[in-house]
Amino acid sequence: MALTEKPGGRTHSALAAVPPPALVLFGIVSVQAGAGIAKHLFDQLPPNAVVMLRLLTSALVLGFLARKALRTVWRDHSMRELALVAGFGLSLALMNFSIYQSFSRIPLGVAVTIEFLGPLTVAVIASRRARDLIWVVLAAAGVVLLAEGGGELNTAGIAFALLAGAGWGAYILLSSATGQRFPGQTGLALASIVGTIVMLPAGVGAGGSALLDPKLLLLGLAVGLLSSLIPYSLELEALRRMPARVFGILMSLEPAVAALVGLIVLREMLSGYQWLAIGCVIVACVGATRDQQNPPEAPEG
């Protein structure tokens, strides 16, 4: 994320004592733990409702933190800049909606692995190096292994994971552009508000009276904290103290962590072919980012 505001107070002091690679790994685990809790909720609260609660959590907390800047946003920014941040919010909504629809149908590790094609594509296009086509081929081989080597997978689940990858790719590009025009957390706060508004009708319609259950609401808010706000804070601090290319390589571990969370939390068993496929995508992501000086960062929103 292209957000460089300085955190203050005790939180910054506490995070400053943690090595940057550990911050990234804790952030990845937090995201996937949130996804595991979300999938457990799907029997009681449909994916659209959980996505809405996740985005709503981000909008409320980030909106509060950026409240001063938000008061003058219409005065301080052009309609073109506001349209840009609206597009950022739409990509955020698309990414979250699609990946939740995906892992409601297929194993979490498989969904996240396919989704990672989005940031991988952005990294390869940004590099413009012919040899990076090797990583594209390797990632494609991984996806073929996922589709063919581990039994039948839900076609809609795969399609939603690919759509989530496209949303993630757009999110990376729009996040960078938004960060150059909006200070601090303002851009992400606005994007979260837009994403929440977009998902509100579908979320309320899907959740219905279940959204009045305090226990489900609290779990939905916990998903928002684990999946967005906590990893955002950890990744932001890590990016201040480590090269962006190292950050990108560490983020490539996310499919493996997702698969482990799926195994431990959700009892989702993967075949040897599927683990090999995840390994192919991870190696492709590492290869595409290791030689770049400033690759596009890909933390989830």
pLDDT tens for 111-153 read 999 998 888 888 777 776 777 778 888 888 888 887 666 556 7
CA 28 to chain centre: 9
What's the confidence (pLDDT) of residue 292? 57
Token pair belonging to 204: 């309320």
Domain-wise residue ranges, the chain: 20-289
pLDDT confidence of residue 19: 87
pLDDT for residue 291:
60
pLDDT of residue 247: 81
Tens digit of pLDDT for each residue in 242-284?
877 788 788 888 999 999 999 998 999 888 888 998 999 899 8
Q: Which residues of the chain are under the pLDDT cut of 70?
A: 1-14, 128, 147-152, 291-301
pLDDT of residue 143: 80
What is the structure's pLDDT at 139? 87
- Rounded Cα gap, residues 149 and 13, in angstroms: 47
State the CB neighbour count (10 A cutoff) for residue 4.
Answer: 11
- Residue 91's φ and ψ, nearest 5 degrees, are -65, -35
pLDDT score, position 42: 93
Angstrom distance (rounded) from CA 301 to CA 288: 22
Q: What is the pTM of this model?
A: 0.86
